Amino acid sequence: MNERHHPNWPPQVPKHLTLPETNIFYNAEVSAARFPNKPFIVFYDTPVTFGEFKDETERIAGFLLQECHVKAGDRVLLYMQNSPQWIIAYYGILRANSVVVPVNPMNMSGELAHYVEDSEATTIIAPQCLFANVEPLIGRGPGKGIEHVVVATYSDYLKRPSPIPVPEFVAAPRKTFNIPGVTPWREVLERHIAPGPLTTGPDDLCVMPYTSGTTGKPKGCMHTHRSVMSTLLGGCVWFSAPPDGVYLSILPFFHVTGMQGGMNSAVFSGATIIVLPRWDREAAALCMQKYRVTAWQSITAMMVDFLSNPKLGEYDLSSLTGARGGGAAMPDAIARKLKSLTGLDYVEGYGMSETIAGTHINPPHRPKPQCLGIPVFDVDSRVIDPVTLQELPQGETGEIIVNAPQVMQGYWRNPKATEEAFIELDGKRFLRTGDLGHIDEDGYFFMTDRLKRMINASGYKVWPAEVEALMYRHPAIHEVCVIGVKDVKRGETVKALVVPAAAHAGTITEQEIIDWAHEQMASYKAPRIVEFVTSLPKSGSGKILWRKLQEEDAARTAAASENNGSNGSTGSTGGASS
């Protein structure tokens, strides 16, 4: 441990964390044994107890093993919104000794195809409202696509009337699918197929979230049960999470922060989680009041929207004892507003898909604003010169690197990308985060810029190269460069500079490109702004100078704001749920 980073370590919190030598499913077994009748999940007033949860995960596991022929170590796709089925499916896959591949439910069929092909998954668990995106990938032949689909209906878990507003896609009645290999969730449970023995150990693969980068194709981050255990247990200890805590679980479970802080930590501690499938500020406030929520993880865009609700004063939020999150720095004004309303500091943290959530978190008793925090349990984090790879002294800006138990094993079937992601320093293997930052005199880490090319839109990471690869499918696009631009609501938003193909110049509009993009990719990735240009600047080797374009756009926006006496983006904006 690097003690110089920890002069403000939280009191009564140990500096070393001894990790259990068990698989993640064992946490569900323990909580079900301890609290069989206690509500684990509450979904629009319908509770699922820890006992019911464990029972249903085993039924899902039995079906995966016996009917879908899933074997130990096989990857299974999990593609849906936050719901009881998401959590039960996740643990059902683990109970089948398999590996969870969480997929953003905003991904369209073309994007989903890459997950299927790259992970070599033959089974997917998806909701009926997204089945149209799954269907084209079914039955392409052995080893070439999806062979088995478990189709969930969210309304199966609406067993009581609720004062919380229920979205239409959640309330929709069950549909029928007469397609070979497609089985309704309810039928899977009704078959009561018992699973075989649980054989996975701490060093077997557990979950494989995908992240992208400069190459455009998302890459699977290989996490073991041990690395997943590290941040889920670390969160419980860092924030002193009691079994009687009540979490508002509204961050998406497919994202590592929501997965660990909003789900896996609660399974370990025995807490109750109030699950909402999409961000809705009225529903969030109602849940906090009705269920006496004690802890809420959010992203900046959610908090901004929540605190701007003119009716917020009508709700009793006195049960809240913690508000935390990350993804983007929380503006001072918003943090002060939260403090005034609730008396709580917003505790920020930092992590990546490659680290299955947090490596740095602010001490709850002494947080700093717009700060990544300090390295948590058993994390050695340093700042290096990204060119020479030499460690830099306190105060100097360089690339943040991390050696920690929560760091992934590497990228799935991509040894070249894995090799590029790591360096060795002092005999240790460090992950290069691609984020530039510095350490202050108190040992707190601050992010300054990004070395990697990435846009942070409402807390979602958008990789421009991936968006560009999708946009090149449009016949009217000759060349495209995707950049990030400032946005009042989203923090950053996606802009595409497009050189139209000669045959389409003057016959296609920017709005048509925007509309097409929203049909082809997840809405948070799709450009909100498109600008036609005659050419794109290139380097001597022919590479498009994206950073130059981004800096020029930022300078123009700043000048326009100064002239207009206003702040914010000139483009359209979207909320956190987009």
> Other CB atoms closer than 10 Å to residue 156's CB: what's the count?
17
Q: How far is CA 276 from the centre of its chain?
A: 15
The pLDDT value recorded for residue 142 is 64
What's the CATH architecture for 455-564?
A: 2-Layer Sandwich (3.30)
Query: d(Cα 518, Cα 419) in Å, to the nearest integer?
Result: 34
Q: Which two tokens stand for residue 187?
A: 């039928």
Query: d(Cα 376, Cα 365) in Å, to the nearest integer?
Result: 14
H or E stretch covering 123: strand 123-127
pTM: 0.87
* 70-74 own/partner pairs: CB under 8 Å, 24+ apart: 70/96, 70/98, 70/122, 70/123, 71/97, 71/98, 72/97, 72/98, 72/199, 72/200, 72/204, 73/97, 73/98, 73/99, 73/204, 73/205, 74/98, 74/99, 74/121, 74/122, 74/123
pLDDT per residue of the chain (578 residues) written in tens, 0 to 9: 344 558 899 999 999 999 999 999 999 999 999 999 999 999 999 999 999 999 999 999 999 999 999 999 999 999 999 999 999 999 999 999 999 999 999 999 999 999 999 999 999 999 999 999 999 999 876 667 899 999 999 999 999 999 999 999 999 999 999 999 999 999 999 999 999 999 999 999 999 999 976 566 899 999 999 999 999 999 999 999 999 999 999 999 999 999 999 999 999 999 999 999 999 999 999 999 999 999 999 988 789 889 989 999 999 999 999 999 987 778 888 899 999 999 999 999 999 999 999 999 999 999 999 999 999 999 999 999 999 999 999 999 999 999 999 999 999 999 999 999 999 999 999 999 999 999 999 999 998 877 777 888 888 888 888 898 889 889 999 889 999 998 888 889 999 999 998 889 889 999 999 999 999 999 999 999 999 999 999 877 667 888 889 889 888 888 887 777 644 433 332 222 32
The pLDDT value recorded for residue 143 is 64
Query: d(Cα 66, Cα 248) in Å, to the nearest integer?
Result: 35
> Other CB atoms closer than 10 Å to residue 424's CB: what's the count?
10
**Half-sphere exposure of 1 toward its Cβ, with a 13 Å CA cutoff?**
15
The answer to whether 102 and 86 have CB atoms below 8 angstroms apart is no
Query: d(Cα 517, Cα 110) in Å, to the nearest integer?
Result: 12
The pLDDT value recorded for residue 563 is 77
Alpha helices by DSSP H, listed for 252-402, are: 256-259, 265-269, 281-291, 300-307, 332-342
Phi (first) and psi of residue 48, to 5 degrees: -125, 115
Q: Is 131 helix (H, G, I), strand (E, B) or coil?
A: helix
